[in-house]
Amino acid sequence: MIESLLNKAKRVCQQAEVFWVTSQNTDASFEANRLKSVETRQGRYLSLRIVKDGRIGYSSTNKIDNADEILQMALDVAKFGAVAEFELPSLQSYPNVEVYDDNVNQVSIEQMVDLGNTMIAAVRDHNAEVICEAGVTKNAISVTLLNSNGGEASYNKTSFSLGVEGLLTRGTDMLFVGEHESSCRPLSDVSKITNTTIEQLERAKETASPIQGQLPVVFTPRGVAIALISPLVIAYNGKNIVQGSSPLVGKLGKSMYTEELSIYDDATINYRPGCRICDDEGIPSRRTPLIEHGNVANFLYDLQTAGMAKAQSTGSANRGGGLPSPSPSTLVVAEGTTSIEDVIADMKQGLVIEILMGAGQGNTIGGEFGGNVLLGYKVENGTIVGRVKNTMVSGNIYSTLKEGVIIGNTSEWVGGALQTPSVYCPSLPVTTQS
Amino acid sequence: MRELIADALKGHNADYVEIRLEDSKSSRIQYRGRDLEDIGQSTGSGGNVRALVNGGWGFISFNDPDELRVKVELAVKQAKLVGNEKSVIARSDPIVDIVPLDLRKDPLAVSLEDKKSLLDEYIDVIWSTPNIQTSTVGYGDSFKKVVFANSEGSYIEQSRVDVTARITAMARDGSDVQQSGISIGSKGDFGAVEGIHQQVKDCAERAVQMLSAPKVKGGQYIVVLDPILAGVFTHEAFGHLSESDFVYENDRMRDIMVLGRKFGKPLLNIVDGGAVPGYRGSYKYDDEGIPSTKTYLIKEGVLVGRLHSRETAAKMSERPTGNARAINYSHQPIVRMSNTYIEPGATTFEEMISGIKEGVYAKNWYGGMTSMEMFTFSAGEAYMIRNGKIAELLRPVVLSGNVFTTLENIDAIGNDLDMNQGGGCGKGGQSPLPVSNGSPHIKIGDCLVGGS
């Protein structure tokens, strides 16, 4: 089907590309401490991108019986599509990136159910009043890409995810805790997830008295993922660079952040679910520095945005149901030199933030982050004394991630797509409702 | 097809089985700046089988509806792995119905070219505004036909057409970027996205003005919300609490959400209903084939109802409300809102702000989130209120607080109910589900506003 569609398209277009994905997914979900349902999904997705008279046409479907209809839909669009600023790649050589493990396919539903029950039992063993939801998921996808310039790529990828979320309710007071993890290989050890969850419960045992003002704040790796990553990354998207809407336009090579901060986008790490041999346009995967020692190092491009910016694609094309668009693959924040535990021990008064609710809702392209501290703790004289409530924190990465920020010296994977240490910000505005 | 489905549903050792088949067609156009970023058309089809055995659910989804009987067997087998108690779902009489498409101006009858020219007009309006850096203008429409059948004899065909448009204007001064946006949506009426040139112009001008606007000083304020933001508040802060799947198996949540509990002052009435006609959250039957209803959640400040699937209704010994919805065939129906709003009161906007010495008037929205107890939402536009008058424009503000105390703090409700149809709701990985929400202007006596 995909070869014949490409051949049909080639006859009437200057360039054509077929992208074909099939997927299989099994999900065991737990509600109110017990198994609720088992779901299996089969899916497929075919998309056709063409360049006709210099303009881009696009269509997609999961109905694969009618190549003519798919081509016609793309041709309709190409009449007034954007002007193509790229040549599709010819046959490339790809790096070796391991993202498939057949053992994932071999995990039985019964084993998945056991993992879920083990996570819930561990958390409830610590506190029987916690009500848990949990999920255990396995996925397998197969990707094939063919284009009219001889470009060709195909790979299989598996992934396996575990997650637990606990809710502790007292009166109308609610405490949410939890952790999740994913890998391209089966996960059988739930202890990292349950230990993190139990540590959250312990740290949040007491409710601390409210604090406000300009305060030092530590974002844990989970806190970094929620609060800081989206404003940091949106500015590197080639689309925002081409449009001039990124605050980093014209700042390539310039120092914008503390010297201690380095961030890489790396699509080549073995067994990480965001990694792969090539991007969704067949450009080989690579490791791209975004920030090196505080300097803006590179922006993320796919073929079209690279063409518009007179730059090279960074192998960052991703498809989310439409035309490819640049986005990061797997982000790695380089470790600093200071122990965050020591920083907390030296803190007179401040916050440690795990979950900042609503952080990505504001003006992220302007660098802003802010929200309600859904899970965070108060530090008093170097010790975590309890959970804070009714507290808001806000900031802007361009004024915050400067001198005085400390990057921790031990990093953690957060949900399989980000590796980061904790980050200390010396002064952020904190407001509280009395 | 109907016979094939009926055959597939016969003679299984399950307490309940349902089949949902879907066929869809959609188009979208997305501009970034003056560049056409994405334009495309898609078709899709798929289906699922959901089975209940001994209280456990099995679910499978697929693209090809062949061998339905085998698929049903597989779902039943999965359900057996899960279940270990008695199955309980609310009773429902079998319904056989073919629901006609509710259309005013069919977007599928408008050519892609005409849709594109309409967006081009809006883009010209934005770019004729001085100091605009860039914009995003997006349009999407979809047609979906869903066939539902269950082992109790129901067979329902329903179709819907959904239209959305999202427009954002961005202004920049050095590394300072400000944006302002509009979201519009409709069930079945392309007309809703036509003729909004003035709104687009105002939006672009506001983005530029925000560059020179001050930030609000963080703290507690008297806050007045416009109908759009108050609608988002109603949806986020209270609506999600009314979804019984958070409540029915959690005794402590049941205590919190006990019917008869006082949530607000007697002036507060909150409704949800798929049976309220004409909005994006309107439908005749939900994805379990249950007729939609109009449900009072809060009446005169007191909790009187909640939203149910068949399972949550039965387990709480209440009636199903027709709120089990699935975003598409690859998901199980879960308890969702439909059209959620605060009923209008008697206060005019002028009366509402007249007594406020210092406060914040927050309008429009970027987004909202809730953890049930706590909520946070972002206003796209905000002004200070000083001495009973709207004063200076502010940078966008983030409002946050405790749901229970904030609902109690609503002390005035306007007479100007307006529904916001531009939003989509996310829950359990199913997003964006078409919903609408609305409210008149409301005044909250005390609300936390984040700022510098």
Give residues 322 to 341 of B whose Cβ lies within 8 Å of A: 330, 332
Give the pLDDT score at B443.
Answer: 98
pLDDT at A434: 65
At B307-358, the pLDDT tens digits run 999 999 999 999 999 999 999 999 999 999 999 999 999 999 999 999 999 9
Q: Give me the pLDDT at residue B396, please.
A: 86
Question: Which pLDDT score, from 0 to 100, does residue B451 have?
Answer: 65
Helix (H) or strand (E) holding B450: strand B442-450
What is the secondary structure of B129-181 as a DSSP string? STTEEEEEEEEEEEEEEEEEEETTS-EEEEEEEEEEEEEEEEEEETTEEEEEE
What would the two tokens of residue A259 be? 């010297």
pLDDT reading at B452 higher than 80: no
Pick among B373, B377, B403, B449 to test the A interface (most A CBs inside 10 A): B373
Q: Which of A62-66, B1-5, B95-99, B337-341 is predicted least confidently?
A: A62-66
pLDDT, tens digit (0-9, with 9 covering 90-100), for A329-362: 999 999 999 999 999 999 999 999 999 988 777 7
In a mutagenesis test of the A interface, which of B145, B371, B399, B427 is the best target, namely the one with the most A β-carbons within 10 Å?
Answer: B371
pLDDT tens for residues B118-162? 999 999 999 999 999 999 999 999 999 999 999 999 999 999 999
Residues of chain B found within 8 Å of residue A370, distances taken between Cβ atoms: 398, 450
Between residues 26 and 55 of chain B, which touch chain A (CB distance below 8 Å)?
28, 30, 32-33, 35-46
Does the distance separating the beta carbons of B451 and A429 come in below 8 Å? yes
Answer whether A254 touches B (CB < 8 Å): no
Which residues 115-174 of B are in CB contact (within 8 Å) with A?
116, 133-134, 170, 172, 174
Domain boundaries, chain B: 2-211, 219-450
Q: Taking a contact as any Cβ pair under 8 Å apart, which residues of chain A between 170 and 209 contact chain B? A: 170-174, 176
Residue B432 preceded by cis peptide, ω within 30: yes
Nearest neighbour of B396 by CB, restricted to A170, A360, A362: A362
Q: Do A362 and B378 touch (CB under 8 A)?
A: yes
Q: For residues A41 and A24, what is the distance between their CA atoms, to the nearest angstrom?
A: 6
pLDDT, tens digit, 9 for 90 and up, residues B59-74? 999 999 999 999 999 9
Using DSSP, state whether B446 is helix, strand or coil: strand
Q: What is the mean pLDDT of residues A268-272?
A: 98
- pLDDT of A362: 76
- Are the Cβ atoms of A245 and B45 closer than 8 angstroms? no
**Which pLDDT tens digit goes with each residue over A311-329?**
999 999 999 878 999 999 9
Chain A CA closest to residue B402 = A390
Question: Which residues of chain B neighbour A40 with C-beta distances below 8 Å?
Answer: 59-61, 74, 78
pLDDT tens across A399-414, in order? Answer: 999 999 999 999 999 9
Whether residues B133 and A243 touch (CB distance < 8 A) is answered with yes
The per-residue pLDDT for A384 is 97
Taking an 8 Å cut-off on Cβ atoms, the answer to whether A77 and B396 are in contact is: no
Chain B residues whose CB is inside 8 A of the A245 CB are 33, 133-134, 170, 172, 177
- Multiple choice CATH, B2-211, 3.30.360.10, 1.10.150.120, 3.30.470.20, 3.30.2290.10: 3.30.2290.10
Q: How many CB atoms lie within 10 A of CB B393?
A: 15
Tell me the C-alpha distance between B410 and A261, whole Å.
Answer: 45
The 10s digit of each residue's pLDDT in B213-261 is 999 998 999 999 999 999 989 998 899 999 999 999 999 999 999 999 9
Residues A104-149 pLDDT 10s: 999 999 999 999 999 999 999 999 999 999 999 999 999 999 999 9
Best residue in A17, A172, A254, A430 for a mutation probing chain B (most B CBs within 10 Å): A172
Task: Write the residue in A169, A389, A434 that is nearest to B252 by C-beta.
Answer: A169
pLDDT higher at B177 or B160: B160
When pLDDT is cut at 50, 70 and 90, the band that residue A307 belongs to is: very high
Residue B176 has pLDDT above 90, yes or no: no
* pLDDT tens profile B367-416: 777 888 888 888 989 999 999 999 999 998 988 889 999 999 999 999 99
Structural domains in chain A, sorted by start: 2-201 (3.30.2290.10), 206-434 (no CATH)
Q: What integer pLDDT is reported at residue A189 of this predicted model?
A: 96
pLDDT of amino acid B368 = 73
A371 CB neighbours in chain B (<8 A) are: 369, 376, 398, 400, 450
